[in-house]
Amino acid sequence: MTRRSEEELYRLLLSDLDGTLRPYGEEIPSGVKESFARLMQCGLQVTLATGRVLQSVLPFAEALAVNAPLICCSGGLVIDHRTRRELYKRSVPIHLVVEAMSFSTEAGCRFATYLPDFQTSLRRDPAGGAFEEWVDGQRQRVVDDPFTYLHEEPLNCLLWTAGQQRTLHLLPLLQARLGRAVRVTQSAPDLLEVIPADVSKAHAATVLVGHLGIAQEQVVAVGDSDNDVELLQWAGLGIAVRGATPAARAAADCVLESAAGAAAAEEIERIVLGIELAGNGG
């Protein structure tokens, strides 16, 4: 395959996962793995920039064999998953997580918050009603007093809604309740994420490129949702997949003809290597 000239060379690909490389709730297609393998063989560093916590994204990072540190928690954590070396980490104040827990109970939303040991989470499913402690993906116990459970600040907290319309309804309500110290972002059609106000995938990418010795203009970013907007604007080339949110489409330099999956990965591969340029989808 023909690559760009050295002057135009991209050196790092940062890709969202859910809704970008795979349709929500599905496995990563084999074609995505093949495209990423070819990009790495051509000398690119490739990694994921996701709202997921480390323990949740690890199986996908390992399946793709990404060769650069991960951006997790929508930018709240930059970590080398191979060595567990933390390059950057920001947490959410406990009192605001507790407030989000109360909101989730009142709104009937599924809730989870993940502790920085990368093993423990506090979760609530409205079907059961109780808050529960989980360790390494296994339910441990019912937490009788969840509002005094937390003793260290979590990395983020998540609230699952009943779909896109309810997400859009609840987002400003939760933001108003939590105030300006954090921001509430939509990271999937039915998912709200609470992160520190100064956290974004773009800021995390700045940390990562400084660590790797790569220039901002040498970065390609791919995404589909509102928590990708800053990263798409920041990167040397921002790409949105077909079906991305209006904000993500507007932030991108180009929009793919393909939705999440193997076809999108092949388009990304061609663009990054300079084989074929995508039209501007604004």
Are 129 and 177 in a shared domain?
yes
Going by C-beta distance under 8 Å and a sequence separation of 6 or more, which residues neighbour residue 110? 104, 123, 124, 125, 126, 159, 160
Rounded distance between C-alpha atoms, residue 79 and residue 72, angstroms: 8
List residues bridging with 159 in a β-sheet: 111, 192
Number of structural domains (the chain) is: 2
**Average per-residue pLDDT in the chain?**
91
- Could you tell me if 165 and 216 lie in one domain? no
- The verdict on residue 162 lying in a domain is yes
Q: Residue 120's domain is classified under what CATH number?
A: 3.30.1240.10
Among 167, 196, 225, the domain-final residue is 196
Is residue 280 over pLDDT 60? no
pLDDT in tens, 170-227: 999 999 999 999 999 988 889 999 999 999 999 999 999 999 999 999 999 999 999 9
Whether 26 and 80 map to the same domain: the answer is yes
**Does residue 185 sit in the same domain as residue 203?**
no
Q: What is the mean pLDDT of residues 256-281?
A: 79
Question: Do 182 and 196 meet the contact criterion of CB atoms below 8 Å apart?
Answer: yes
Q: Does a structural domain hold residue 177? A: yes
For residue 280, being part of any structural domain is answered with no
Look at residues 203, 199, 257, 201 and name the one whose alpha carbon lies nearest to residue 225. 201
Supply the pLDDT for residue 94.
96
Domain span including residue 73: 6-89+199-272
Predicted confidence at residue 162, as pLDDT, reads 85
267, 261, 193, 259: which is closest to 237 by C-alpha?
267
Please identify, among 196, 215, 234, the residue that sits at the C-terminal boundary of a domain.
196
Cβ-count burial 123-156 (b if 16+ within 10 Å, e if not)? bbeeeeeebbbbeeeeeeeebeebeebbeebbbb
Domain ends where: 160, 181, 196? 196
Q: Are residues 186 and 173 in the same domain?
A: yes
8 Å CB contact between 93 and 84: no
How many residues belong to the chain? 282
Q: Which residues of 35-48 are buried (b: 16+ CB within 10 A; e: fewer)?
A: bbebbbeeebbbbb
Q: Is residue 157 part of a domain?
A: yes
What pLDDT score does 275 carry?
60
What does the pLDDT look like over 7-60, one tens digit per residue? 458 999 999 999 999 988 788 999 999 999 999 999 999 999 999 999 889 999
* Claim to verify: residue 224 and residue 101 sit in the same structural domain: no
